[in-house]
A = this chain, B = another copy of it.
Amino acid sequence: MNFSNLEKLGQNARLAGYSIAKASTEQKQKVLRHLAQTLRQQSEQIQQANLQDLEAAAGKLDQVLLDRLKMTPSAIETCALGVDQLASMPEIIGQIHGMTQQVSGIWVGQMRIPIGVFAMIYESRPNVTIEAAGLAIKSGNACILRGGSEAWHSNQILLQLVQQSLETGGLPAEVVQGLPTTDRKAVDQLLQMDTYIDLIIPRGGKSLIQKISAESKIPVLKHLDGNCHTYIDEPCDLDMAWKITENAKTQKYSPCNATESLLVAKSQATKFLPKMAEILWQKNVQLRCCADSLLLLQAHFPSIDKDLCVLAQESDWYTEYLAPILSIKLVDHLDQAISHINHYSSHHTDAIVTSNHGHAMRFLREVDSASVLVNTSTRFADGFEYGLGAEIGISTDKLHARGPVGVLGLTTQKYVVLGNGEVRE
């Protein structure tokens, strides 16, 4: 891979971006419908290509990664369904809103338009290739995809199907391009190509994202930690508090929106905490407690299993466990809960359980996180659950897009001004 090849790839992406930006809704729908259909028709060929990847990876990757890599008939059908759903979603490109007339006579509003070109860097799961391509087409952007080397054959056939579908709709195949190599140096080079790429979207571990952010000349849609909190306020509905906390922590341990830290108003602790601990211990969740909550639980449960109830360290308040572990801290009042969250949280998703309206309002306003929830589970912080449709990631940045990012997060706005010969005095 040499520089001029990548340069050409970037130029092609920029030009293809202009083509798809002005494509009609009908054209884009045709492409997406064709893609969904061809995914179903070519299901066996996709599985054959995928088998090559699986065989090469056998013994090298652990079972979790192998599962992510595998494209079963039902996984392919899920991809096709997702693309069909995108085709059915209302068009957002070209929408003009806020058109108001100014004193000078001109009308000023904003039009929603694609960003231009994004590059996505991801691992293992080949279905991300289809998700990213579908979102690019729907949002009118060109994209450059760089999947993991372990999914090379799967991604190649998927890219072919995407490019054939684009051509069916009269759009250039270069709207969706794959990097023609998995050489890491090509990624390094990509991150410098700010003339051709407007946004980098990495999907992967924190260290990958930090490395890309540090090296990129191009803005990066970042998703770092999900150190999420649930705060049990006084007064609140205790049944609701137990149910929500159980769901937020244990419904699934690996997602970034799972609760990692539980704050409890001191005046609620004796009523709320013992039963909560029992519920969590039944699922083998280890509790890492502040000194006060540890004393309280030890007093209630003298024959406590010491591995399931330990003293928290300072570092625990910062930690995203993604595992059956929960840190617990008693706080004096709402103010302390908010300060603790704003200090330790990763500003991803934080919830309060309360029946006090004023407390709910203050929590919503003052907690500085991408999603702030009242009386519900942090697990809801998700593009589909928010009604945004397919999700390209969850942003923990403040600028551009914050929280779950769907098609809308791949767009920007420009000012449109309509005059009738007005000039500036």
User: How far is B240's CA from A369's CA once the two chains are assembled, in angstroms?
Assistant: 50
Residues of B contacting A251 with CB < 8 Å? 423-424
Asked whether, in the complex, the Cβ of B247 is within 8 Å of the Cβ of A417, the reply is no
Asked whether, in the complex, the Cβ of A244 is within 8 Å of the Cβ of B375, the reply is no
From A217, which residue of chain B is reached at the shortest CB distance? B214
Residues of B contacting A113 with CB < 8 Å? 365, 368
Residues of B contacting A243 with CB < 8 Å? 421, 423
| A186 beta carbon closer than 8 Å to chain B | no
A412-B402 CB under 8 A given contacts A108-B386, A417-B376: yes
Tell me the count of chain A residues lying within 8 A, CB to CB, of chain B.
Answer: 66
Residues of B contacting A374 with CB < 8 Å? 416-419
In A368-423, the 8 Å CB interface with B consists of 368-377, 379-381, 385-387, 398-400, 402-404, 412-423
Residues of B contacting A422 with CB < 8 Å? 376-377, 380
Binary per-residue interface labels of chain A (30-63) against chain B in the complex, 1 for a CB within 8 Å, 0 otherwise: 0000000000000000000000000000000000
Asked whether, in the complex, the Cβ of B376 is within 8 Å of the Cβ of A106, the reply is yes
Asked whether, in the complex, the Cβ of B365 is within 8 Å of the Cβ of A399, the reply is no
From A370, which residue of chain B is reached at the shortest CB distance? B414
Asked whether, in the complex, the Cβ of B423 is within 8 Å of the Cβ of A377, the reply is yes
Residues of B contacting A239 with CB < 8 Å? 421
In A153-188, the 8 Å CB interface with B consists of none
Asked whether, in the complex, the Cβ of A219 is within 8 Å of the Cβ of B399, the reply is yes
Asked whether, in the complex, the Cβ of A386 is within 8 Å of the Cβ of B102, the reply is yes
Residues of B contacting A400 with CB < 8 Å? 399-400
User: How far is B368's CA from A415's CA once the two chains are assembled, in angstroms?
Assistant: 11
| A100 beta carbon closer than 8 Å to chain B | yes
Partner of A414, one of B115, B369, B399: B369
Asked whether, in the complex, the Cβ of B371 is within 8 Å of the Cβ of A414, the reply is yes
User: How far is B362's CA from A216's CA once the two chains are assembled, in angstroms?
Assistant: 34
Partner of A365, one of B94, B379, B418: B94
Asked whether, in the complex, the Cβ of B116 is within 8 Å of the Cβ of A368, the reply is yes
Asked whether, in the complex, the Cβ of B364 is within 8 Å of the Cβ of A111, the reply is yes
User: How far is B380's CA from A61's CA once the two chains are assembled, in angstroms?
Assistant: 59
Q: How far is the CB of A383 from chain B (nearest CB, A)?
A: 11
Residues of B contacting A248 with CB < 8 Å? 423
Q: How far is the CB of A390 from chain B (nearest CB, A)?
A: 15
Q: How far is the CB of A419 from chain B (nearest CB, A)?
A: 3
Asked whether, in the complex, the Cβ of B237 is within 8 Å of the Cβ of A373, the reply is no
Asked whether, in the complex, the Cβ of A415 is within 8 Å of the Cβ of B385, the reply is no
| A342 beta carbon closer than 8 Å to chain B | yes
User: How far is B157's CA from A99's CA once the two chains are assembled, in angstroms?
Assistant: 41
Asked whether, in the complex, the Cβ of B100 is within 8 Å of the Cβ of A379, the reply is no
Asked whether, in the complex, the Cβ of A423 is within 8 Å of the Cβ of B244, the reply is yes
| A225 beta carbon closer than 8 Å to chain B | no
User: How far is B102's CA from A381's CA once the two chains are assembled, in angstroms?
Assistant: 12
Binary per-residue interface labels of chain A (87-106) against chain B in the complex, 1 for a CB within 8 Å, 0 otherwise: 00000001000001010101
A and B contact pairs by CB, cutoff 8 A, 23 listed: A18-B342, A106-B373, A106-B376, A108-B387, A115-B398, A116-B398, A198-B398, A219-B219, A239-B421, A244-B421, A247-B423, A372-B416, A372-B417, A373-B419, A375-B418, A375-B421, A376-B417, A376-B419, A376-B421, A377-B424, A398-B412, A402-B415, A403-B415
A interface residues (Cβ-Cβ under 8 A, vs B) = 18, 21-22, 94, 100, 102, 104, 106, 108, 111, 113, 115-116, 198-199, 219, 237, 239-240, 243-244, 246-248, 251, 342, 360, 362, 364-366, 368-377, 379-381, 385-387, 398-400, 402-404, 412-424
